[in-house]
C-alpha cells in the first residue's frame, strides 16, 4: 500500500496540533516519524486511523483520497494500528481481543473455534507465537504487544501498520525482537509507519525518517543521518544531554531500605526483599523496566503503602507506622511519577498546589484557617524562583503546560526543609527546556546535601544524573553499578538475565531471557562477571 498525506492539518480551537503535514509511505517501507512528546505525532496517527477528523488536507491510499468516519473505516481500508497505550481488554482472552469488532459469529452467536483458529493462522504466518486462550491482563507487556500486532494484522486486508511509540514499555530484549518483527513484516510487503522519539531505534530500522516539531515537518532524513543531526532536528537546537555536575560527595545514609517486601492485592510479591541505601549528597538512579516494583517502592517510602515486611529508615529514623504527613514534615520530598494523578490537583490554583502538603503548617495555617497572604507570598516567590509560566497564581493548574505543572511540584518540594528526595520520572511529558531546568535543580539539590533517589525508565536520564545506578527487576535490586557502566550491562540486568534463578517459577515468558543472551557482554564490571554462570542457570 502506498500512503500519502497532503497538507494534513488538525486544529483544536486556536491550537494547531498538526500543520500542513506532507508524508509518503511507499509499499514495504518502514517510515519513521520522529518527534518530541507533544510534537503532534499522536494526533497525526489518530487522524490516519479515523479517531480524529482532519481540519484540512487529505489522506490518499494508493492515490485515492479517503475519508475515515471512524477506526472501522481505517481498518476496512487496510490500516492496522498498534497504540502507544495498548488497547487490549484486560479480562478478555487473546482470541476475543483479536476478534473484537470483526467477530467470528453466525447469526450473532460467537464461534470460539473460529476465533482461536484465526489467531493461530496469523501468528503462524508471521511467526508471532501466541496462546489464543490466554487472558491478556495476565501476559507480560511484550506479549501483550504481540497481541496488538496480531490484532492489527488480522484486519481483512491490513497492508499498513502504524506503530505508535511501541517500545516505551519494552525491555531492551523485547525491543530487539520487535525491530526484527518489523523488518520481517516490511520484507513481506507490509508498509510500516513507526512513531518514536528514540533515535537509536529509528536509526536501526527505518528506511526513511520524517521529523516533526510543533506540528510541522521540519526535516526528511536518511537513516544514515547521525544521532546529533536527528536530535537537533527534533528539538530545534543543539541539546546537551549531559548535565554538568561535580563528583558526588556522599555522606551519611539518608534512606535505608532493608529486606522490603510488598505483596499486591492479587497476592503477587511486587517488591521482594529489596534493599537499597541512598546517602546524603548523592543521586542514586533506579533503573528498570516499568512495573518491576518501582512504584510500590516509592509509595512505601512515602508511606502510602504499608509494606508486608522489611524496614525503611529515612534520615536514620525507622519510619515504620508513621504517616505520609509525618514523613513529609520530617523532610521527605516526593515527586510522584504520575503528575496528573498524584502530583497536582488540577482544579486547584497554582498557589494552592504550591502549599498542598504544607497548608496545615505555619505560616500557611492560622488557628484553623488558611492564611491567604502567606500562601500568596509563597506563590509569588516560587513562581519567580522556578520560572513557572502562569498568568496568575490563581489560575488552575489545569491551564498550565506539563512542564510548568511539573515545576509547581518541584517548587513545592524544594520550598521546605528536606533531607531526602524521591524523584520518580521527574521529566516525563516535559519539554526539553524544562527537562534541563529540572535536571540542574536535582543536581543542585544533591549538592546541598540532600540524598536523591531518582526513579526513571529513561536510561538516558539515569546516565545524565546518577552517581550510582541500582537496577530493579521483579521487585529486587539485581545490581548496583557505577554510572559509567555500559548500557548493555544495565540492559541485561533490567531483564533479569544476570541473576541467579529465583526459587519460585519465573513468571516472565521465555522470550525476554532468551534473546538477551545474544547481546555482547562488554563490561568488565563485577555485575557482569558472573554473567556466563548466571545465564547458564537461568534456563
Window 413-472: residues binding another protein (CB under 8 A): none
SS3 271: strand
Chain residues 498-527 in contact with another protein, contact rule CB under 8 A: 504-505, 507-508
Region of 184-192, 278-286, 340-348, 386-394 interacting with another protein (CB under 8 A): 340-348
Among 90, 189, 363, 501, binds another protein (CB under 8 A): 90
Chain residues 10-69 in contact with another protein, contact rule CB under 8 A: 12-14, 46, 49, 51-53
Tell me how crowded residue 42 is: count the other CB atoms within 10 A of its CB: 21
Kindly list the distances between the CA atom of residue 266 and the CA atoms of 143, 202, 296, in Å, as whole numbers in the listed order.
20, 38, 14
CB of 197 to another protein, least distance (A): 17
CB of 128 to another protein, least distance (A): 17
Strand order across the 191-196 sheet: 79-82, 160-164, 191-196, 30-34, 208-213, 216-221
Chain residues 118-157 in contact with another protein, contact rule CB under 8 A: 136-138, 140-141, 144, 151
Among 7, 58, 67, 91, binds another protein (CB under 8 A): 91
Chain residues 168-197 in contact with another protein, contact rule CB under 8 A: 169
Among 67, 187, 188, 325, binds another protein (CB under 8 A): 325
238 versus 362: smaller Cβ distance to another protein = 362
Chain residues 290-319 in contact with another protein, contact rule CB under 8 A: 290-292, 302, 304
135 versus 204: smaller Cβ distance to another protein = 135
Nearest to 289 by CA among 510, 35, 508: 508
Length of the chain equals: 539
Cite the beta strand spans of 169-268 per DSSP E. Answer: 191-196, 208-213, 216-221, 253-263
Chain residues 351-370 in contact with another protein, contact rule CB under 8 A: 352, 356-357, 359-360, 365, 368-370
CB of 141 to another protein, least distance (A): 5
By the rule CB under 8 A, 343 interacts with another protein: yes
Chain residues 93-112 in contact with another protein, contact rule CB under 8 A: 96-97, 99-103, 105, 108-110
Contact 320, 327 (CB under 8 A): no
Among 130, 181, 301, 328, binds another protein (CB under 8 A): 328
Region of 70-78, 227-235, 238-246, 310-318 interacting with another protein (CB under 8 A): 70-78
Among 156, 238, 240, 266, binds another protein (CB under 8 A): 266
Binding residues for another protein, total number by CB under 8 A: 88
Chain residues 381-420 in contact with another protein, contact rule CB under 8 A: none
Nearest to 430 by CA among 406, 463, 459, 455: 406
d(CA 451, CA 92): 44
277 versus 294: smaller Cβ distance to another protein = 294
Nearest to 477 by CA among 287, 299, 295: 287
Contact 255, 301 (CB under 8 A): yes
By the rule CB under 8 A, 377 interacts with another protein: no
Burial (0-12, 13-18, 19+ Cβ within 10 Å), 126:
middle
CB of 228 to another protein, least distance (A): 32
Contact 434, 443 (CB under 8 A): no
Q: Which long-range contacts (CB under 8 A, 24 or more apart) does 321-330 make?
A: 325/357, 327/301, 327/302, 327/303, 328/302, 328/357, 329/361, 330/419
Amino acid at each position: 500500500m502506498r500512503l500519502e498525506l497532503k497538507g494534513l492539518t488538525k486544529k483544536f480551537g486556536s491550537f494547531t496540533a498538526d500543520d500542513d503535514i506532507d508524508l509518503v509511505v511507499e509499499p514495504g517501507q518502514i517510515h519513521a516519524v520522529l518527534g518530541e512528546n507533544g510534537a503532534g505525532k499522536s494526533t497525526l496517527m489518530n487522524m490516519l486511523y479515523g479517531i480524529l477528523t482532519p481540519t484540512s488536507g487529505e489522506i490518499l491510499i494508493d492515490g485515492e483520497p479517503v475519508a475515515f468516519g471512524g477506526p472501522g473505516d481505517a481498518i476496512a481500508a487496510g490500516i492496522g494500528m498498534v497504540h502507544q497505550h495498548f488497547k487490549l481488554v484486560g479480562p478478555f482472552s487473546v482470541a476475543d481481543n483479536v476478534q473484537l469488532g470483526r467477530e467470528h459469529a453466525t447469526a450473532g452467536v460467537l464461534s470460539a473455534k473460529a476465533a482461536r483458529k484465526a489467531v493461530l493462522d496469523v501468528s503462524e504466518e508471521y511467526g508471532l507465537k501466541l496462546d489464543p486462550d490466554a487472558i491478556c491482563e495476565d501476559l507480560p507487556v511484550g506479549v501483550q504487544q504481540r497481541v496488538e500486532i496480531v490484532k492489527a494484522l488480522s484486519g481483512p486486508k491490513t497492508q499498513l501498520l502504524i506503530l505508535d511509540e511501541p517500545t516505551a514499555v519494552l525491555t531492551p530484549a523485547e525491543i530487539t525482537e520487535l525491530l526484527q518483527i518489523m523488518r520481517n513484516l516490511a520484507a513481506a510487503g507490509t508498509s510500516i509507519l513507526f512513531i518514536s522519539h528514540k533515535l537509536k531505534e529509528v536509526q536501526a530500522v527505518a528506511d526513511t525518517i520524517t521529523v516533526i516539531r510543533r506540528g510541522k515537518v521540519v526535516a526528511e532524513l536518511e537513516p544514515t543521518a547521525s544521532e546529533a543531526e536527528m536530535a537537533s532536528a527534533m528539538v530545534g537546537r543543539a541539546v546537551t544531554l549531559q548535565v554538568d555536575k561535580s563528583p558526588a560527595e556522599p555522606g551519611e545514609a539518608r534512606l535505608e531500605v532493608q529486606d522490603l517486601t510488598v505483596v499486591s492485592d492479587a497476592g503477587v510479591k511486587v517488591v521482594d526483599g529489596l534493599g537499597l541505601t541512598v546517602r546524603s549528597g548523592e543521586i542514586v538512579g533506579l533503573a528498570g523496566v516499568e512495573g518491576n516494583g518501582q512504584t510500590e517502592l516509592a509509595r512505601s517510602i512515602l508511606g502510602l503503602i504499608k509494606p508486608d515486611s522489611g524496614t525503611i529508615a529515612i534520615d536514620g529514623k525507622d519510619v515504620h507506622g508513621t504517616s505520609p504527613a509525618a514523613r513529609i514534615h520530617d523532610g521527605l520530598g516526593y515527586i510522584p511519577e504520575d503528575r496528573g494523578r498524584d502530583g497536582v490537583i488540577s482544579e486547584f490554583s497554582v498557589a494552592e498546589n504550591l502549599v498542598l502538603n504544607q497548608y496545615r503548617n505555619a505560616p500557611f495555617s492560622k488557628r484553623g484557617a488558611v492564611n491567604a497572604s502567606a500562601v500568596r507570598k509563597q506563590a509569588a516567590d516560587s513562581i519567580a524562583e522556578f520560572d513557572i509560566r502562569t498568568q496568575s497564581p490563581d489560575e488552575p493548574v489545569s491551564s498550565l503546560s506539563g512542564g510548568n505543572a511539573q515545576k509547581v511540584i518541584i517548587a513545592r518540594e524544594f520550598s521546605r526543609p528536606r533531607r531526602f528526595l524521591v524523584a520518580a520520572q521527574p521529566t516525563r511529558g516535559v519539554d526539553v527546556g524544562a527537562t534541563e531546568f529540572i535536571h540542574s535543580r536535582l543536581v543542585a539539590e544533591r549538592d546541598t546535601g540532600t540524598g536523591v533517589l531518582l526513579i526513571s525508565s529513561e536510561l538516558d536520564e539515569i546516565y545524565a544524573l546518577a552517581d550510582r545506578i541500582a537496577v530493579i527487576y521483579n521487585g529486587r535490586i539485581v545490581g548496583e553499578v557505577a554510572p559509567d557502566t555500559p548500557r548493555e550491562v544495565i540492559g541485561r540486568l533490567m531483564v533479569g538475565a544476570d541473576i541467579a534463578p529465583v526459587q519460585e517459577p519465573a513468571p516472565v515468558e521465555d522470550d525476554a531471557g532468551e534473546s538477551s543472551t545474544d547481546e555482547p557482554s562488554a563490561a568488565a564490571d563485577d555485575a557482569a562477571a558472573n554473567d556466563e554462570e548466571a545465564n547458564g542457570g537461568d534456563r
